[in-house]
Amino acid sequence: MGFIINPIAGMGGKVGLKGTDGNLEEAIKRGARPIAIERAIEFLSNIKKDYEFITCSSEMGENAILKSGKKLSVVYKTGGKTTAEDTKKSAKIISELADIIVFVGGDGTAKDIYEVVGSSIPILGVPSGVKMYSGVFALTPRDAAEIIDEIDELNFEEREIFDIDEDAIREEKIIKKMVGYAIVPSHKKIQCGKETYYGDDKEEIASWVIEEMNNEILYIIGGGSTTWEIKKRIGNGSFLGIDLIKNGKIIFKDAGEEDIKRFLGEKAKIVISPLGGQGFIFGRGNQPISAEIIKKVGKENIIVVSTKEKLDKIDYLKVDTGSEEVNEMLRGFIPVYIGYKEKKIMRVI
């Protein structure tokens, strides 16, 4: 079992950077902390079978495996600060020794590995990045563990690897280029590639949400085209970022986790839309709305909105907050508003 961690994956998410590619120093300056090791340990600790992991030294694999008590063999030694070149070099070595490469990271890590191994060996992503548009990621680290435990009984299929332009995302644009097709386990707990939807439902949804707003409540508005309609009517918000609204005005644009905490009082609501094609309401693209914030706001104060077209292609809503306690709090049924006062009840898994 090959295993590679991108130690900086996901660091830009909670501080509102939408990625760390070429922007690590700014992420650290804003108070970002590594999350990939935590995600790796969650994955490893939930594996029931006794695998030996072929991995890299230090924070690129060895440390997390030792903490989880699994067997390991280090075949690639890292220096101090690791880069994409370390990912590529280690993937090349590991691909010649393992039956599958499991990596902890996002789209950038997936692309780096794919560029080296192509379709010569199956890969599986443990989600830890900010951008995860590619179809190679398990829904959660625990789901990745389940897939690996069942690997001997699974078939394999081709899934898309996308290269996402982080600079464009920071300018409120989504520019994604398909790099190729990787081989991944065929399993229901691997996410689909993200889809985009358009429709008049958004105008009805925005009308209802704005009509229901209370000036005394802080509204934490997630990113995406559905919530963008709300932001457009109120002020100059961000298309992909998290914006804060109070008293009918946008009081903070493109907020990070600490920004939200600073404004968070006794009364707050979260307005969020599922990720098209995947169904995630938390854990993909809106990392500033952390498990701590979700817990404080409460499930009863979460407003989920979606166009009918998008929701028709989603069987369940999904959560991957990084906290199993908060994931469990969110599971069950939740109303999704699909028009003016029109809603559909969906299950969160």
**What pLDDT sits at residue 29?**
52
Give the predicted TM-score (pTM) of the model: 0.65
The predicted-structure confidence for 91-118, as pLDDT tens digits, reads as follows: 999 999 999 999 999 999 999 999 999 9
Give the Cβ contact number of residue 63 at 10 Å: 18
Look up residue 168 and give its two tokens: 């464009």
Q: What is the mean pLDDT of residues 181-192?
A: 90
Query: Residue 198: is its pLDDT beyond 50?
Result: no
The predicted-structure confidence for 215-250, as pLDDT tens digits, reads as follows: 999 999 999 989 999 999 998 899 989 999 999 999
Mean pLDDT over the full length of the chain: 88
**What pLDDT sits at residue 194?**
58
Q: What percent of the chain has pLDDT over 90?
A: 66
Query: Residue 138: is its pLDDT beyond 50?
Result: yes
φ/ψ (deg, to 5) at 2: -80, 145
Q: Which residue has the higher pLDDT, 10 or 260?
A: 260
HEC sequence for the chain: CEEEECCCCCCCCCCCCCCCCCCHHHHHHCCCCCCHHHHHHHHHHCCCCCCEEEEECHHHCHHHHHHHCCEEEEEECCCCCCCHHHHHHHHHHHHCCCCCEEEEECHHHHHHHHHHHCCCCCEEEEECCCCCCCCCEECCHHHHHHHHHCHHHCCEEEEEEEEECHHHHHCCCCCEEEEEEEEEECCCCECCCCCCCCCCHHHHHHHHHHHHCCCCCEEEECCCHHHHHHHHHHCCCCCCCCEEEECCEEEECCCCHHHHHHHCCCCEEEEECCCCCCCEEECCCCCCCCHHHHHHHCHHHEEEECCHHHHHCCCCEEECCCCHHHHHHHCEEEEEECCCCCEEEEEEC
Query: Residue 129: is its pLDDT beyond 90?
Result: no
Residue 270 region by backbone torsions, left for phi larger than 0, else alpha for psi between -120 and 50, else beta: beta
Query: How does residue 8 score in pLDDT terms, banded at 50, 70 and 90?
Result: confident
Amino acid at 310: K
**What pLDDT sits at residue 215?**
94
Give the list of residues 6+ apart from residue 120 with CB closer than 8 angstroms, or none. Answer: 95
Q: How many residues does the chain have?
A: 349
Query: Residue 26: is its pLDDT beyond 70?
Result: no
**What pLDDT sits at residue 58?**
94
Query: How does residue 13 score in pLDDT terms, banded at 50, 70 and 90?
Result: very low
Query: How does residue 16 score in pLDDT terms, banded at 50, 70 and 90?
Result: very low
Amino acid at 78: T
